Structure formats: structure tokens, C-alpha cells
């Protein structure tokens, strides 16, 4: 049995038990205990899950009934928790962003590699079958040279987010660029390769302490440009994700239900997302599989480090209102 400790219910995805529910579908896996710096919140979560609440993180990391931990603590706590857990020999799954900045991410990578533990990160777009399909089409040369990619991510359910989610200190910036943008940045880099430079525009329609809307333009070393749109202010479309890729041989357009391929001769192929060959498992399933010798984890520390590197450049671009080399 692979036993997992849940680390803080601070993150919105922990409030809704996203990973608890996903772990229920993974055989030979169970939650053994909970830790939270907020003892009232942590004890209530442990009682809800009918597991132990451990008030001491060092003690929890020494427990024999903890093989790995799932971190949904504030981002500014990630580095210290990850390093402690890795040195204790525990595998780690963490919410994004991996760390507060690129320097911290490199510190995490160093410890992960030294201890040889498995680290997974919540970058679920790598599990979407339609995006793996797009990646394969590009890698096979069927799209030709890519001129433009556009990734859109809109979220409407702000009611499920506590006020602290939109504060700068615990999140390293929070907001649309850092939170929603993590997924978009990772998807663009996963498909297009190494980024070269970035420019950013942000909006503050909802008067959060951080941006509620952001657009990044990323230039890649292969010449492609990725336009990355993220917003918490989209009341009419429900939650929405969209990927468009415009190549010299083919255009690829995917929304949550359908994929449209526009071929060089002008013909179109339309298919339902559900009819495309299945992609990678969800990130937490990949992580458990890798920890237990049953599969690979592509949502790994290297992916997290690259996202942090791009986010650092995006932060400078926002502050200076200029294009920044990555």
C-alpha cells in the first residue's frame, strides 16, 4: 500500500478535495495522515478524512506510514517542505508553482536529484489527450513550421477561492499570470520547446491585490510565438480552455469538446475530444505510478523548474513593461 500524507488545506484544490478524490481511483493507495500549519483547519480535515492529524511536520515526515506527501500548502512554503521531505526519503507531489522563483526551483531540483525521490507537479494539461495529439502532430512534422500558438484559460468560480489566494505574499504573485498562466506556460513549452523571450500585459478589473487577467507573448527559439491568455473574470463562458496552433501545413483548434484540423488544401477534419486516443494519466496518477514502479512521470521537477524560470521573466516584464529574455 502506498501511503500519502496531505500537507495543508490552504490551496483551493485542497478545499474541494481534488487530489483526495483522484487518489480514490488509484488502487493500493491511501491517505494516512494530515498536517497543516493552521491546526484548526488541519484537524477538521483529518477528522473529515478519518485519519490522524499530526501537528509536527518533522514527526510526520519520520512516520513509517508515510511513503509520500501531497503538498497543497502556500507556495512560499513549498521549498522548505520539499527539501525536508526529500531528505526524509519521502516522495513528493506538489501543487504549482513548484517554488516562489527560479532560484528556489533550482534548489529543489538539486535536492530531488541528490535524494533520488520522485517529485510530481500538478500540470494537468499534459494529461489532456487532445494536447498530446497536438504535440505528436507537430513532432511528426505534420503541422510544418508553427507561426502562432494561442492558449486560453478562463475560470469563473471565484467563490471557491479564499481571499488569501489573491494576495501576493503566499503565492509569489498569485493572479492570472502566475496561477492560471502556469498551465498555459507549461503547455506551450511542452509542445514548442525552449522559450526565448516574454512580454506581459495585465488587468485588474476585479480589484484583487494581484492581476485577475493576464496576457503573455512568448517567443520560442524555433521562431514560434505563443499568446497565453488567462483570466479570473469570464462570467459568461463557465470554465474554458482553448488551444489554437497555426502551422505552415496545418492549423489545430481545440476547445473542451472538439478538435478541428484545417489542412493545407483547405479541407477540415473535425473530431470529438473523446474519440482521440487517450493521453497520459492525471499528474497525481503519473506520480504514484512512478513511485511504485508502474509508469513514468512527465509532470516532473524539470517541468516545474522551467515554468518558474518563465514566471521570473514574466514578473520582470510586468514591472518594467518590456520584453525580457528568458
pTM over 0.85: yes
Q: pLDDT averaged over the chain?
A: 93
Non-local CB neighbours of 25 within 8 Å, separated by 6+ positions: 285
Q: What pLDDT score was predicted for residue 208?
A: 76
- pLDDT tens digit string along 62-120? 999 999 999 999 999 999 999 999 999 999 999 999 999 999 999 999 999 999 999 99
* Cell 479541407 sits on residue: 267
- How far is it, in rounded angstroms, from Cα 150 to Cα 253? 9
Which residues, including other chains, have CB under 8 Å from residue 30's CB and lie 6 or more apart?
1, 2, 3, 4, 23
The proportion of the chain whose per-residue pLDDT surpasses 70, expressed as a percent, equals 93
Q: Answer yes or no: are the C-beta atoms of 264 and 252 closer than 8 Å.
A: no
What is the distance between the alpha carbons of residues 230 and 212, in angstroms, rounded to a whole number? 8
Beta-ladder partners of 244: 150, 253
- What tens digit of pLDDT does each residue of 129-168 get? 999 999 999 999 999 999 999 999 888 755 555 566 666 6
113: cell is 536529484
pLDDT at 187 over 70: yes
Cα–Cα separations (whole angstroms), residue 272 to 130, 252, 255, 256, 257? 9, 13, 10, 9, 6
> In terms of DSSP bridges, do strands 225-231 and 119-121 run parallel, antiparallel, or are they unpaired?
unpaired
Q: From CA 72, how far away is CA 16, in angstroms rounded?
A: 11
Q: In whole angstroms, what separates CA 240 from the centre of its chain?
A: 16
Q: Distances in Å between the alpha carbon of 250 and those of 39, 96, 259, 271? A: 54, 32, 13, 15
pLDDT number for residue 180? 86
Domains of the chain listed by start with CATH number = 2-123+283-299 (3.40.50.720), 125-279+309-325 (3.30.360.10)
Amino acid at each position: 500500500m502506498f501511503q500519502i500524507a496531505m500537507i495543508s488545506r490552504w490551496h483551493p484544490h485542497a478545499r474541494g478535495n481534488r487530489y483526495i478524490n483522484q487518489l480514490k481511483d488509484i488502487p493500493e493507495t491511501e491517505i494516512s495522515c494530515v498536517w497543516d500549519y493552521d491546526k484548526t483547519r488541519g484537524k477538521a480535515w483529518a477528522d473529515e478524512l478519518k485519519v490522524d492529524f499530526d501537528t509536527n511536520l518533522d514527526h510526520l515526515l519520520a512516520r513509517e506510514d508515510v511513503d509520500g506527501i501531497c503538498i497543497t500548502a502556500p507556495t512560499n512554503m513549498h521549498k522548505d517542505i520539499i527539501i525536508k521531505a526529500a531528505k526524509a526519503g519521502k516522495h513528493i507531489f506538489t501543487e504549482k508553482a513548484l517554488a516562489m522563483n527560479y532560484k528556489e526551483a533550482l534548489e529543489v531540483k538539486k535536492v530531488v536529484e541528490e535524494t533520488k525521490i520522485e517529485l510530481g507537479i500538478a500540470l494537468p494539461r499534459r494529461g489532456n489527450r487532445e494536447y498530446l495529439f497536438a504535440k505528436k502532430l507537430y513532432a511528426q512534422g505534420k503541422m510544418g513550421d508553427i507561426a502562432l500558438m494561442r492558449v486560453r484559460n478562463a475560470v469563473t468560480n471565484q467563490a471557491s477561492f479564499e481571499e488569501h489566494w489573491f494576495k501576493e505574499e503566499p503565492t509569489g504573485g498569485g493572479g492570472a499570470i502566475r496561477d492560471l498562466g502556469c498551465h498555459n506556460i507549461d503547455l506551450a513549452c511542452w509542445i514548442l520547446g525552449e522559450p526565448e523571450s516574454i512580454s506581459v500585459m495585465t488587468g485588474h478589473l476585479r480589484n484583487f491585490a494581484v492581476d485577475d487577467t493576464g496576457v503573455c507573448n512568448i517567443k520560442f527559439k524555433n521562431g514560434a510565438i505563443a499568446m497565453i491568455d488567462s483570466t479570473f473574470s469570464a462570467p459568461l463562458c463557465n470554465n474554458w480552455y482553448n488551444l489554437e496552433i497555426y502551422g505552415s501545413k496545418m492549423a489545430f483548434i481545440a476547445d473542451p469538446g472538439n478538435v478541428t484540423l484545417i489542412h493545407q488544401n483547405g479541407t477540415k477534419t473535425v473530431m470529438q475530444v473523446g474519440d482521440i486516443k487517450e493521453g497520459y494519466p492525471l499528474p497525481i496518477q503519473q506520480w504514484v505510478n512512478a513511485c511504485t514502479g508502474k509508469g513514468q512521470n512527465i509532470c516532473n521537477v524539470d517541468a516545474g523548474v522551467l515554468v518558474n524560470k518563465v514566471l521570473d521573466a514574466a514578473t520582470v516584464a510586468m514591472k518594467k513593461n518590456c520584453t525580457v529574455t528568458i
